[in-house]
Structure 1
Amino acid sequence: MRDRIRYVIFGGVMLGLASLSAFAQDTLTLEQSIKLALKQNLEVQQSQIRTQNQAINLRQAKNNLLPDLNARLGHSFEVGRAIDPETNQYLNNVTNRYGNQSVSSSVVLFDGLRMFHDITQQAYAYRATQLDEQYAKEQITLNVTRAYIQALAARDVVAQADSLAAVMRRQVERSTLLFNQGASNPGDYYDLKGQYASDLNNLNEARNQYNEALVSLFQLINLPFNAETKLASFQELPLATTDTLTDEQLYQTAADRLGILKAAENWKKQAQFGLKAARSSYFPSLSMGAGLSSSYIHGNGAYVDQVRDRIGQNLGFTLSIPILNRFQVRNNVARAKLDLLDA
C-alpha cells in the first residue's frame, strides 16, 4: 500500500513538472501574461479574499435585523430532601427526575438606527473592496504590460548587439587574415579587436538586462523563472484620440474607469456611517421577546400529556437605557472619528 502511494505521489510530481516544462517552452503572449497574473498574483488574490470577506460582513449586517430563535432542553435528578413542584411541600428521601423544554425568540425593535447605519456602512465597505480589487487588477495589468514591453525592448537590444558583434567578428576575421599576411596596419588591427571586445561586452550586458526584465515579468506572473521562454511580439495598438475632450471630461472619464478614485469615495462614506453607527449606541434600545415552555416530572403521567398540559407562554418588552458603560460608547465614537479622518 505504501509503495502504491509513493508511486502515485511520484507520478503526480512528475506530471506537474512535465506540464510546467511544457508551459515554459511555449511562446508567452501579453494576453497570457495578464491572465496568468490576474489568476496567480498574490496581491490580486488577497484583494479578492478581502472582497469576499466584506460580502460576508454585509450579509451578517442584514441578518442582524432578523429575530433569533433558540430551543432549550433540560433534565435534572434530585436525591434526598426536595420540594414537590405541584404541592410545594417538602419531601424526604425522594429520588425525582425532572425535565423542561422551551423555545424563545427575540427581536430588536429600536436601537437608535445602529443596525441600519451598520448595513449602510458595510455596503459602502463592500463596494470599496470591490473597487480596490478592480484597482489591484488594473495595476497588475499595467505592471505586466510595462514589464512585457520592457522585456521586448531588451530583447531587441540583444538582437541589435548580437548583429553588431557578428558584423565586427567578420571584420576581425578578415583583418586577422590581412594582418597575418602583413597587409594590415597593426594599429587598425588592434583597434578593431578592441572594438569587437567592447561589442561582446555590450552583448553580454544586453543579455543580462533581458534576463532581468524576464525575471521581473515572471515575478509579476508568479511563475518560476525560465530563460528559455519566448515572448511573442504584438502589433501596435491604436490609441483613442482625446482631442475633443476637455480637461474636466478627461478627469471624469478617468474617475469612472479607475477603481482607486471611486474606492476612496466609498471608504469615506463607509467611515461616515461607521461614526453614525457608533453614536447610535447613545440611544436606548427596545427589544421584544416571546417564548413557549413546558416541563415534565417522572412518574406523574405520560410525557406527551404532561408537556401538553404544562405549556406556558410569555411575551415581554425590554428597554435598555445606557447610563454608564465604562465609556465604551464614547471611545468607540472617538475611534470612528479617527477612522473618518483617516479615510
Structure 2
Amino acid sequence: MNQDRLTPNQDDAITDAAAHWCMRLHADDCTAAEREAFDLWLAADLRHFDEYRAMQEIWQTADLLPRRTAVVEIGARPVRKAQPRHWRPFASAAAIALLALPLAGWVGWEQGWLPNRYQHFEATDQVRQVQLSDGSQIELNLHSELRFFNYKDQRQVTLTRGEAFFKVTHDTAHPFIVRAGNGQTRVTGTQFNVWKYNDEVKVTLVEGSVLVSSHGDDGGYRLGPGMQASYHAGDFEPTLAQTDDADNSLAWRSGKLVLDNLSLAQALPVINRYLERPLLLADDSTGAIRVSGVYNTREVKRMVDNLPKVLPVYLTRSKDGSTVLNRITPLTNKG
C-alpha cells in the first residue's frame, strides 16, 4: 500500500476497520482467531496503528467499558515520526461503534458519557488554523496539540501541549470547556487564548467572559476582556491580572516572540515552547539577567545561539544534550 497518500475511500476503509476491531476486541465473545487477525491487520500498515489508537480514545473517554476490557494493549512498536494530522471528523467511526452496541451507545450519549464527534489537531513547524464541527475556530501555535469531543451537554477540548487561540461559537445550552493542566476554562461563546507549558497554564481573555478554575471543577473565577488567569498544578485558585496595551500574549499569532525586559528565568518558559530541548540556566545569577527583543517564532533556536553576542553569557551542553546558559563573571581588579 502506498505509504504517502490515501484516497478518500481507502481512508474511510481504515477508519471503518479500526472501529470494527475496537468493537470486537472489547466484546466478551472475541475469539483467539479474531485477535490473531487483528494483530496481522495492525502490523500491515502504520496507519492502522494510528487509527486504532485514535479509536481507543473515543471508547476510553466515555469510561463506559468494563474495567477488565477497558484497554486493549497494542504494545510499543516503532512508529514513524508523526505527521501533522489533517482535520478529519471521526463521526462515522463513532457512529459505527455506537451502532455496534445500540443500547450502551444510546445510554452513553444520553447520559453525556460518550461523544458523537471526535477531532484531533496538531501543529508542528507552522501556525495552523482549524475549524471544529460546531463552527468554532481555533488557531494553533507551533508545536501544539489538542483534542475535541462533542458531548450532548457540552463541548470539550483538551490542550495537551502548546498554545491555542479560540473563537467559540455561542451556544448557551452547550458550554465549551478547555482543559489544560489540572484546570479548565468554561465559556459559551467568546474569544480567548490558552498557553500551556509543563504544569503552567495562562488564559488571556479578548472578548466575552470565561470562568477559569485551577483544579477542574465547574466553578471558578470570571474574567472580563483584557484579564489573565494563570495557575500551576496544585494551585488552589488561579492568579488573576489585568493586561495592558504592552501585553504580548498574542504576538505569536503574528509569528513574533516578544521579550520585554524579562529576566531569563521569566523568559525561559516562553522560549522553551519553541525548542526541541529545553534551554537551561546554570544558576540563579544567570536567571537574573534581563533580556529584551522581538524574534521570529520559527527562529528561536538561532536566537538562543546568538544570546552570547548580546548578553554576558556563554553556552555549554548538559549530559542530555540540552543547552545551558552560564553567566560570565566579571573580572575583579586585584590592584
What's the TM-score bracket when you normalise by the shorter of the two chains?
under 0.3
Larger Rg belongs to:
1
Q: Which has the higher strand share?
A: 2
TM-score of the two chains, using structure 1 as the length reference: 0.18
More helix by share: 1
TM-score normalized with structure 2 length? 0.18
